[in-house]
Structure 1
Amino acid sequence: MAMSSKESATALKRTVIIAIFAAVAVVLSIVEAQIPLAGMGLMPGAKLGFANIMILTCIFFLRGRDAFVLVILKTLLTAFLLGTFSSLLFSLFGSLLSFVVMFLLVRFTGKKLSVIGISIAGGLAHNTGQLLAASMVFNSASILYYLPILLITGIVTGILVGFAVRYLVASLSKISLFEEFLDGRSH
């Protein structure tokens, strides 16, 4: 079945938004890779999760499959530019768990949970997913020793990311490219 010109235009807009969000997410990942968190007593490889700003924003505007594509693109591109196979695995595990949690919360809680609460849940899920992946790779549960510290940092960074998403969603909602993707949810 052929797409109408309106459907085709909408599909093109979705693709453009995903590409822009992926580029911004990769840039945010590169910037945060320059911040030496290990020197602050955090787990080696710990990050602030600024790329989640784009993932959560995408969840608010587009379909779940669009945000899923963004997660995969961001993870692969970032790993290609900055990481190793193990960092790809850890990031993918964390990113996918974070995406699933944030997506389900946005879709099923509607206006009951704030974007900051959703972001915190995503940060906690991301850190948990990464530790579970590391535990499997290293075949050791002792790495879960880092969980309390990463849960605390997940809350703090989730709050920061949530405020950024709240601002970004409000700002993007005023741009014509995003107007047709608004569905009346309060962000």
Structure 2
Amino acid sequence: MNQKRNRENLEKMMLIILIGSLAIVLGIIEAMIPVRLPIPGAKLGLANIMIVIGLYYLDGKDMLTVIILKTFLTTLLLGTFSMFAYGFVGALLSYATMMTAFKLLKDKISLLGISVLGGVMHNIGQIIVAMILIKTNAVAYYMMFLLPLGAVTGIVVGIVAKLVMPRLNEFELFKKHYKLQEV
């Protein structure tokens, strides 16, 4: 019995490390791609592919661990304190919304819908941080550009996650922890 629990804990730790590491690597790759979006500071959010995927394999506490590790380590490798603040608040708000939608609307919302919610809420979190750091509400006007972009990037992230998850389920570790029958 104790050996079984140890194995389950090890598997869960491996999933956290795999999902977190892949999110960090995708964040680094994104930083290396010279994509010029029409909105300053806007990104594709490739690391969020793994965050959306993680919702389907890890519980809330473990996903929070992944998000904290991803945001902290990516910032440590690539960024500044303000980047951490924007990314962390955006990630927390996005995560809370996606997790709530996943739990409450599991049968009524698709992976794509959850991803779009996450993209939009991430941008709202970033605007909140900007209003606090810059000390003006004027940046809220930036939302008319960021929210549609968050929806579009949420669609892209959701499509990629939907394509990747069946491949992940070919591995016993992922298949065993998958929370739904179909994606």
- Do both proteins adopt the same fold according to a TM-score greater than 0.5, normalized to the shorter chain? yes
Deviations along 1:29-55, one digit per CA (max 9) or x if unpaired, are 112123445x44212x22111111111
CA distance in 2, matches of 1:35, 1:145: 28
CA distance in 2, matches of 1:41, 1:185: 39
Q: Answer yes or no: is the 8 Å Cα contact 2:56–2:179 preserved in 1.
A: no
Residue pairs, 1:1-187, within 5 angstroms: 4-37=2-35, 39-43=36-40, 45-187=41-183
1:159 match: secondary structure: helix
2:90 match: secondary structure: helix
Q: Answer yes or no: is the 8 Å Cα contact 2:37–2:43 preserved in 1.
A: no
Aligned pair count reads 183
CA distance in 2, matches of 1:57, 1:120: 13
Q: Answer yes or no: is the 8 Å Cα contact 1:53–1:164 preserved in 2.
A: yes
Q: Answer yes or no: is the 8 Å Cα contact 1:111–1:186 preserved in 2.
A: no
CA distance in 2, matches of 1:168, 1:68: 21
Letter of the structure 2 residue corresponding to residue 132 of structure 1: I
Query: Percent of aligned positions with the same letter in both sequences?
Result: 37
Q: Answer yes or no: is the 8 Å Cα contact 1:102–1:119 preserved in 2.
A: yes
Letter of the structure 1 residue corresponding to residue 19 of structure 2: F
CA distance in 1, matches of 2:32, 2:142: 22
Q: Which runs of 5+ in 1 are unaligned?
A: none
CA distance in 2, matches of 1:135, 1:160: 28
Q: Answer yes or no: is the 8 Å Cα contact 2:56–2:180 preserved in 1.
A: no
2:177 match: secondary structure: coil
Q: Are residues 22 and 184 of structure 1, via their aligned partners in 2, closer, same or farther at CA, if it must alter by over 3 Å?
A: closer
CA distance in 2, matches of 1:118, 1:60: 11
Q: Answer yes or no: is the 8 Å Cα contact 1:94–1:126 preserved in 2.
A: yes
Q: State the TM-score, normalized to the length of structure 1.
A: 0.92
Letter of the structure 1 residue corresponding to residue 24 of structure 2: V
Q: Which runs of 5+ in 2 are unaligned?
A: none
Q: Considering only aligned residues, what root-mean-square deviation do their CA atoms show, in Å?
A: 1.4
